[in-house]
Amino acid sequence: MGSSRFNRLRFPFSKATSRFWRTPLSKRSLIIASLCGLYLFFALFGYSQHYQDKDKRRGLYPLDNARPDTVDSHASVLPTRPNVVYITLKSKRLKPANIRGTIRPKLRRKVRRTQPTRSPFTQNKFGTLGRNAGENRRNVAQETFLGETLDVDYKSLNLNPGSDSRVSSIRIYSPNAPPWFSAGDVKAMRFLADAKVVRIKKMPQGDFPSLLIFESEAVGKHKLFEASNLCGGQCGGIGSPVDNTEVFAFHLDRVLGLNRTLPAVSRKFGFLYDGQPCPVVLWDASVQPEGHPAVKLTWGEYQNTLKARCLRPKRSSTKPDSNCSTVHHYEWSKLALFDFLLQIHNRLDPSCCGFRPRHEDLCVRLGSHAECGDQNHTQLKSIRQSDNLRHLVFTYNKGFFDRNEDNLDFRLLEGIKELPEQAVSVLKSSKLRVKLLQSLFLDQHYWESQGGRQGIDKLIDVIERRAKVLLTYINAHGIKTIPMNE
């Protein structure tokens, strides 16, 4: 009985199996693939359903053994299933509700303290100066230095004379200096760099910061030195460390063959500006207000002077029908070229009308930039004459190396029809960089203060780019280059 039932169940299976093996291979493969697909589908569906049920059972347990709030759960959106609990997690509190418990701190106002005017003297040296003032019968106080006139004996600073280096900072290793320096230039540079300081004075300069003057033991022979009590011997003017462009301007002037600036070097003083290198310019009383006053010209008068070509060669006197000054016509051409390369605007463009000034520029802070609407009446400043009243002396040479080529002051070249041939030939040649490197290397303190060769190269890059712009301007405006050596 049992065997007959087993045979009846076995017969359909064996019949289906034999029929399956008699089918073609392609149909057998399709049937096997279909069966495998059905198996995978039901296997994955059952696996996901198992984990969904497990997550539902896990959500039924409250957090931290706390009972679920039935009131809040009914007030919120009703769940779709009776066994689902919705939980809202709050973010972590960033700071406590009450600072310092229940006491709120008082708001204290910061008292503004006015910064006293910074004295160039190093603090400890100036304190020594005040203690020894009675012994030297000078009664010098800090207010006196910041105000009117200062006359300080170098010995009252109580400095160690042996602290100064005996090695000169002017490095001339060959028998002769570069050919663009005269014997007087080399002598003046060595004096400014190595002279022993005997006395220091302070001199106001009008619109410019007051200048410190140091006096050496050497006796000057200039009559104006004796007439003015500012300098009884040979002296030098000490500038601020930020005005070190005076040194670069002196070397550029000599390389171009203009010879219109006073000798300048960089020097360190242990009692000034915390020992930082400062520009020291040779003192010349003839270019100071006590000597010859500055040339007073407005912008309109200056343009008329350029058109009149005052005191050109073969003319012994100025035209009677013109408002010419005693300054030679060639001097304005030299000044314009020099000021353009260094972008010195305080002489020919004191109101900054030829470029876009910054907010911290002096012309903006003083409000003179607003006067550009009436340019013809703008007063030129800081134009000084030498003993030979036909020549100019370029003083207060504060140049700007951070001005881009798209913001150069072309107003400095306005009205100029001729430029010195020697200076332009140096700009055209490829020797400008070599000459400036050779010249600036002489001043060790300035060389090191600018970062050595790498820093000096960056400054020369600026001058070379401006020289290319100037040469393009010369060709575009038909400016002539003529010899201007008298």
State the number of CA atoms in the 13 A half-sphere of 174 facing the CB: 8
Domains held by the chain: number: 2
CA distance 292 to 273: 31
| pLDDT value for 415 | 95
Tokens of 420: 């010195």
Same domain, 353 and 315: yes
Same domain, 265 and 307: no
| pLDDT value for 328 | 92
Other CB atoms within 10 Å distance of the CB of residue 184: 10
Choice between 354 and 322, residue whose per-residue pLDDT is larger: 354
In a domain, 421, yes or no: yes
User: Which of 112-121, 166-175, 200-209, 329-338 is the most confident on average?
Assistant: 329-338
Work out the pLDDT band at 257, boundaries 50, 70, 90.
Answer: very high
CA distance 298 to 378: 5
| pLDDT value for 284 | 85
> Among 461, 466, 460, which residue's Cα sits nearest to residue 406?
466
CA distance 95 to 437: 62
Choice between 266 and 230, residue whose per-residue pLDDT is larger: 266
In a domain, 151, yes or no: no
What average pLDDT does the segment 425-439 reach? 96
In a domain, 36, yes or no: no
Q: What percent of the chain has pLDDT over 90?
A: 39
Give the tens place of pLDDT for each residue, 46-70: 666 655 555 555 444 444 444 444 4
What average pLDDT does the segment 2-22 reach? 64
Choice between 37 and 434, residue whose per-residue pLDDT is larger: 434
What average pLDDT does the segment 141-157 reach? 42
Domain holding 238, by residue range, is 183-218+229-283
Work out the pLDDT band at 349, boundaries 50, 70, 90.
Answer: very high
Least confident segment among 47-51, 135-139, 424-428: 135-139
Same domain, 263 and 339: no
What average pLDDT does the segment 403-419 reach? 95
Choice between 221 and 472, residue whose per-residue pLDDT is larger: 472
In a domain, 428, yes or no: yes
| pLDDT value for 446 | 97
CA distance 409 to 395: 19
Same domain, 472 and 324: yes
Least confident segment among 8-17, 115-124, 154-163, 318-327: 154-163
In a domain, 385, yes or no: yes
Same domain, 267 and 310: no
What average pLDDT does the segment 452-476 reach? 97
| pLDDT value for 28 | 79
| pLDDT value for 159 | 47
Crossing angle, helix 421-428 and helix 329-342, to 10 degrees? 30
In a domain, 56, yes or no: no
Same domain, 187 and 322: no
Tokens of 375: 């340019």
User: Would you say the C-alpha torsion 334, 338, 341, 345 has a positive or negative sign?
Assistant: negative
Other CB atoms within 10 Å distance of the CB of residue 389: 13
In a domain, 104, yes or no: no
Give the tens place of pLDDT for each residue, 271-318: 888 889 999 999 887 776 555 667 889 999 999 999 988 876 555 455
Give the tens place of pLDDT for each residue, 103-115: 455 555 554 544 4
Same domain, 273 and 307: no
* Domain end among 283, 307, 324: 283
Same domain, 214 and 324: no
> Helix, strand or coil for residue 412?
helix
Same domain, 394 and 463: yes
| pLDDT value for 33 | 87
Same domain, 337 and 363: yes
Same domain, 361 and 468: yes
In a domain, 123, yes or no: no
Same domain, 253 and 343: no
* Domain end among 257, 283, 309: 283
Sequence-separated (6 or more) residues with CB below 8 Å from residue 237: 203, 211, 212, 213, 280, 281, 282, 283
